[in-house]
Homo-oligomer: A and B are copies of this chain.
Amino acid sequence: MPATDLPRPWASVPRQFRERGLRWTPQRRAVVDVLAGTDGHVTGAELVDRCRARDPSTIPSTVYRTLDVLEELGLVRHGHGADGREEYHVGPGSEHGHMHCSACGASREIPARAAERIAGVLAEAAGFEVDVSHVTVVGRCRRCRRSASA
């Protein structure tokens, strides 16, 4: 199985691993395969499930440890959903936080423009540099506000 089997953004991952003295194992490849077929976000548990679907012998701790490594390499980022569970953003370039409506359960991305302004506010007020992609704010979305006030 040549490494070129991996889709575009992931093709060079095995090399990145080895260059760092890390090892490219079947288990890691499985996780990366699953991530490559994932669009946007996944929770840790979902990822474990999908890996298990391919290989029932998959061990959760291995998946989580692989995700840690991938995060160090900058290939995924993780945050926490409204309920505090791990949530992974796949692929660099998709940095964004989330807004979660506690009324209807919907989750939307925070627009980049808004995220920038928020980062600006915290930088100015407290000198704090926010990791935008780690943020999930909870509240009520436009629709639920309207129907509540009606």
Tell me the A residues contacting B by CB distance below 8 Å. 80, 83-86, 99, 101-102, 108, 110-111, 113-114, 117-118, 121-122, 125-131, 134-135, 137-142, 145
Partner of A84, one of B85, B118, B139: B85
Partner of A80, one of B84, B121, B131: B84
Q: What's the number of copies of this chain in the assembled complex?
A: 2
| Complex Cα–Cα for A131 and B145 (A) | 13
**Interface pair B102/A126, CB less than 8 Å apart:** no
**Interface pair B118/A131, CB less than 8 Å apart:** no
| Complex Cα–Cα for A84 and B113 (A) | 26
Residues of chain B within 8 A (CB-CB) of A118 are: 118, 121-122
